Amino acid sequence: MTEIKLIFDEPVQKKKAPKHIADLSPAERKEWAKELGFQPFRASQVATHYFTHLSNTPAEWSDIPADQREAIAEALTPKLIELVTTRTTDGGMTRKDLWKLHDGTLVESVLMRYSDRVTVCISSQAGCGMNCPFCATGQAGLTRNLTAGEITEQIVAAARACADGELPGGPTRLSNIVFMGMGEPLANYNAVVRTLHNITDPNPDGLGISARSVTVSTVGLVNGIEKLMDEGINCTLAVSLHTPDDELRNTLVPINNRFNVREVLTAADAYEKKTGRRYSIEYALIRDINDQSWRSDLLGRLLKNRNAHVNLIPLNPTPGSKWTASRREDEAEFVRILESYGVPVTVRDTRGREIDGACGQLAAAEKGKE
Ligand code: SAH
């Protein structure tokens, strides 16, 4: 494990994040450039440098007059995230970055290179208000929503790291994005939807990454799922179910008291119908809490006629937690029962554990040092 320390201890400011073209639609970007006294087409030139060339070197933006480059770049693409630490593992194939925002807030993203793809896991909020007791982010509560610019910057930084050959194996392209870092994406709806456009819009308006390679993971905010299916983005939906029964889910995912299992699955089905995308059910296996065979049986019965896939995640115990991952034999039995219902199931690999790779743990560790 390697750790690089870059910056620290800047005063905490309580002001809004600077505005960035990534906060705006292509039409709004032009309007904004005009308001700032630039020619409107400068906005799409800047977007091309930002999204297509992933360039943060305005000196090279040769289609903009040399004496205006810095001012235009600073106005339209201010730096919103600053690297605090990077930790790597798996011989550099997994890398976790801790970012500091303009007001001192910390968020994290994880970049993972596999044989056939490169995935970045990004944060949509600093902290989280959903209060799931097994999740490190949930323990600290919500600090604030990120802006679309702050979310997009994590993705552009990852794309740049890939293009620049920072991961072993040489230059590559960022292929997948998962909203599985800190925060509940559907509780920061507008910024997340703007980000989804930034990801999927073709160049020069966005990164031109296929929506099928983008996964929004949610605790199951039914109103958010219903709204998202009408955006025409058609990204993949992942629902953090963690148990098929309301009684336990009321404690594991407290928002279940508002939107229960039946309502969440109904919304996910509607999403699947509208978008044609099979959805994922996320299920963190917690020893003797939600890993009993009767629960697998109930889950199998719930899902057998649905177009869903189950992603089992061995619990990554958070510091001080009394819970731990399931025994191997219980996990195997859980899988066997689900498969007996014909439900597709995978067990997630546990990349990045040694670098506090799971949800909120790096930021929590960093805060603990202060
Ligand atoms: N708020 C979103 C994104 C959270 S992180 C959501 O709840 O879906 C992505 C996944 O990691 C979620 O399924 C979350 O429940 C799970 N997770 C959080 N902490 C975990 C832990 N300690 N071990 C295993 N999975 C965890």
Q: What is the end-to-end Cα distance of the chain in Å, rounded?
A: 22
The protein residue with its alpha carbon nearest to ligand 1, atom 17, reads 135
Contact status, residue 47 vs residue 64, Cβ threshold 8 Å? no
Whole-number pLDDT of residue 13 = 43
Whole-number pLDDT of residue 162 = 98
The ligand 1 atom nearest the CA atom of 181: 5
The protein residue with its alpha carbon nearest to ligand 1, atom 21, reads 316
- Measure the CA–CA gap between 316 and 323, rounded to whole angstroms: 9
Where does the chain hold its CATH 3.20.20.70 domain(s)? Answer: 81-367
CB-ligand 1 contact for 316 (6 Å cutoff): yes
Query: For 78-127, how does the pLDDT look when each residue is reduced to its tens digit (9 = 90+)?
Result: 999 999 999 998 899 999 999 999 999 999 999 999 999 999 999 999 99
CB-ligand 1 contact for 139 (6 Å cutoff): no
* CATH no. for 21-76: 1.10.150.530
Contact status, residue 318 vs residue 353, Cβ threshold 8 Å? no
Catalytic status, residue 108: yes
- Measure the CA–CA gap between 229 and 227, rounded to whole angstroms: 6
Whole-number pLDDT of residue 140 = 82
Whole-number pLDDT of residue 368 = 43
CB-ligand 1 contact for 359 (6 Å cutoff): yes
CB-ligand 1 contact for 217 (6 Å cutoff): yes
Total residues found in the chain within this entry: 370
Burial degree of 297 (CB within 10 A; 0-12, 13-18, 19+): middle
- Measure the CA–CA gap between 299 and 240, rounded to whole angstroms: 13
Q: Which fold has domain 81-367?
A: TIM Barrel (3.20.20)
Query: Which residues of the chain fall below pLDDT 50?
Result: 1-13, 360, 362, 364-370
Contact status, residue 87 vs residue 3, Cβ threshold 8 Å? yes
Q: Among 108, 150, 184, 331, which one carries the catalytic annotation?
A: 108
Q: Record the pTM.
A: 0.93
Strand ranges, E, within the chain: 2-5, 81-89, 94-101, 106-113, 118-121, 125-127, 142-145, 176-179, 214-218, 236-240, 279-285, 308-314, 345-347
Tokens of 347: 């067990």
CB-ligand 1 contact for 286 (6 Å cutoff): no
Where does the chain hold its CATH 1.10.150.530 domain(s)? Answer: 21-76
Catalytic status, residue 329: no
Whole-number pLDDT of residue 14 = 60
